[in-house]
Amino acid sequence: MDIAEHMLRTGSRGFRDDLARAVDDLSRSVKGLGLSWSLAWHDVVSRYRGSILGPFWITLSMAVMVLGIGFLYAELQNIPLATTLPFVALGIVFWGLISQTVIEGCESFVQAAGMLSQTSLPMLTFVWRTVLRNLAALLHHLVIVVAVVAGFGLWRTMDLPLALAGLALVLANVSWMCLLTAIISARFRDIPQIVMSVMQFSMFMTPVFWQPGERVGLMDAVLTWNPFFHMLDAIRAPLMGVAPEASTFSVLVVMALAGWAVAFGLFTATRRRIVHYL
């Protein structure tokens, strides 16, 4: 008999030991990323079972929103449609990725209560599940991105590698937010409501639809101190053929490191308890 699997669980032996366990959870969850993907894909399939368009329904409703808001804001802000429409389209698609991942992050552990309370599956598997599920949704919405990139000739000026680097940094950031909201929402059931309000508020404070004007006074403050502006701009600006702000990428790197340190610290401290919160 070949027995490779071995499990050792002990009472808490201090922070360092807990940290080692949390890291072990992380490495097991990364090795088992295939399971996260299976669960995520199953979520996508089962959510749209029986519908003809499936996840493309969201894509379609986004497209309608893009057209409506694109035309309206072109008129309101007096900017040519050829600039506004791609701006709004990319804004809505990538804002959707950011806000949905953070909002759905709240349910990551709560939804998995059954599995967490009777198997030794790594907890972070369920965080990756949420992130991958939203990435799968993004793949559908890429139809819109491809349409504007082709339709407005953005491919001539865009910087695709930089946009992909931006996407990678955004994913690094949304995943720690996802972990953080997952833990706190498991403990306090008010959090999902708060997260939803915060994300809705942020949508209006972030240039998703509206073009940022002169960077003076309040406008400058809103853009500089809004993490979501940097996240969105890191993907959108390179696709639009504009250089993102010099500080954007460093802000995202620092935010990812600091965010992961906080979220992982909290995970280390609460990991033993999370299953009891559920």
Partner 1 sequence: MSRSAKPPTAPPRPDQAFISVRGLTLRFPVYGYDAKSLKKHLARVAVGGRLDQARHGSTTVTAITGLDLELRAGDRLGLIGHNGSGKTTLLRALSGAYEPDEGQIEVRGKIAPLLDLSLGIDPTATGLENIRLRGRIAGLSARQVEEKLDEIAGFTGLGPFLAMPLKTYSAGMQARLAFAVATAVDADVLLMDEWIAVGDADFQKIAHQRLLGLVERAGILVLASHDLDLIRLYCNKVMRMDAGVGSEVVPVKALDELLARPSVR
- Enumerate binding residues for partner 1 (CB under 8 A): 1-3, 5-12, 34-35, 38-39, 42, 45-46, 49, 114-121, 187-191, 194, 271-273, 275-277
Smallest separation, CB 92 to partner 1 (Å):
29
Smallest distance from partner 1 to CB 204, Å: 24
Nearest distance, CB of residue 123 and partner 1, angstroms: 10
Measured CA to CA, the distance from residue 278 to residue 229 in angstroms comes to 34
The least CB distance from residue 1 to partner 1, in Å, is: 6
When the beta carbons of 260 and 277 are compared against partner 1, the nearer one is 277
Going 65 to 67 to 70 to 73, the CA torsion angle's sign is negative
Nearer to partner 1, 19 or 271 (CB): 271
Q: 209: which residues sit within 8 A by CB, 6+ positions away?
A: 69, 73, 88, 91, 92
- Token digits of residue 118: 């009777």
Helix or strand holding residue 230 (H, E): helix 227-239
Please report where in the chains the tokens 């610290």 appear, as a residue. 265
CA distances from 103 to 143, 173, 223, 269 (A): 23, 14, 22, 23
Minimum Å gap between C-beta 184 and partner 1 is 9
d(CA 211, CA 192): 29
Smallest distance, Å, CB 73 to partner 1? 37
Note whether 88 and 73 are within 8 A (CB): yes
Closer to partner 1 by CB, 9 or 16: give it. Answer: 9
Query: Nearer to partner 1 by C-beta: 92 or 132?
Result: 132
Judged by CB, which is closer to partner 1: 112, or 208? 112
Smallest distance from partner 1 to CB 32, Å: 9
Instruction: Compare residues 101 and 185 and give the one whose CB is closer to partner 1.
Output: 185
Q: Specify the long-range contacts of residues 144-152, CB closer than 8 Å, at least 24 apart.
A: 144/59, 144/62, 144/63, 144/66, 144/89, 144/92, 144/93, 145/89, 145/90, 145/93, 145/239, 147/89, 148/85, 148/86, 148/89, 148/90, 149/86, 149/239, 152/82, 152/85, 152/86
Cβ distance to partner 1 smaller for residue 152 or 277: 277
